[in-house]
Structure 1
């Protein structure tokens, strides 16, 4: 009985191996004349599991299942395999966040004047402003009506 109570599973070891060892202890108790019901055997196994199996034990108890040791063994093996795949998924997550485009800011002049958009500024080339082409002086312009120059 002392072996059964003192047997504690180490974190990171195989659940399958531990449950088979605990099943051996339970069978030994049955041969010595101390038979255990399935509920009592399940409690002994669950109490020997590490804290990483607490979620499984809580789900098992909340569902009110009464299972044999072999059925519990199968459930724990499945839970162990699912737990390992979740760990691998966590390791595949990349660090860093999603960069969102910055919204266009609007500058608000005082005294209720027209809002000027930052995006509406003239294009720059290497932090130098690009000059807009100037219209020619009046002497060099062509008249819209008569198509003559200079008036």
Structure 2
């Protein structure tokens, strides 16, 4: 039955297209699957940013090979969006400085940022869990200074004090 259908087609390319439509995965379905991988991708804390970005780039290239079109800025945004919270400063700096990245430049800067953060999975885990305490991790409230009245007026830092510690009650 297939032979009869294919024999009627004028060229080999038409025959291949017909067979691909019948049995092959369509480009749209494959493109959709690659896009799903990108949109649901999230880099776990403590893993290699290099491996994550390379995987994202692989999925972006697959979309393009299947006929999808994603502009360069959107590719960068997709990768930045998939990064964990520990890269929030990097993400904000990139957005605020409006730096135009290529994928390769982004990869280099992210690997450098990872090195500067000095985050190994063990260090990251201990940093996220916070200080360990035998009292259930409760923090002590700072003691109030003697003689400090809450009269609603502005408090002034002592001479030689840090201006950033100026307290202004509302």
Q: With structure 2 as the length reference, what TM-score do the two structures score?
A: 0.49
User: Could you list the runs of 4 or more consecutive aligned residues of structure 1 that deviate by over 6 angstroms after TM superposition?
Assistant: none
- Is the Cα–Cα contact under 8 Å of residues 29 and 35 in structure 1 kept in the other structure? yes
Matches within 5 A, 1:123-142: none
- Is the Cα–Cα contact under 8 Å of residues 4 and 22 in structure 1 kept in the other structure? yes
1:17 is aligned to 2:34: no
Q: Which has the larger radius of gyration?
A: 1
Structure 1 residue 66, shift from structure 2 partner = 1.2
Q: Which structure 1 residue ranges, 5 or more long, are not aligned?
A: 92-151
Q: With structure 1 as the length reference, what TM-score do the two structures score?
A: 0.55
Structure 1 residue 38, shift from structure 2 partner = 1.4
1:45 is aligned to 2:61: no
Q: Which has the higher strand share?
A: 1
Q: Which structure 2 residue ranges, 5 or more long, are not aligned?
A: 1-34, 128-170
Structure 1 residue 46, shift from structure 2 partner = 0.6
Alpha-carbon RMSD across the aligned residues, in angstroms, is 1.9
The aligned residue for residue 57 of structure 1 is 91
Any idea what the Cα deviations from partners look like across 1:121-148, whole Å, max 9, x if unmatched?
A: xxxxxxxxxxxxxxxxxxxxxxxxxxxx
- Tell me, in whole angstroms, the C-alpha distance in 2 between the residues paired with 1:66 and 1:35: 19
The answer to which structure, 1 or 2, has the higher relative contact order (CA under 8 A, 6+ apart) is 2
Match for residue 34 of structure 1 among 51, 61, 68: 68
Aligned length: 88
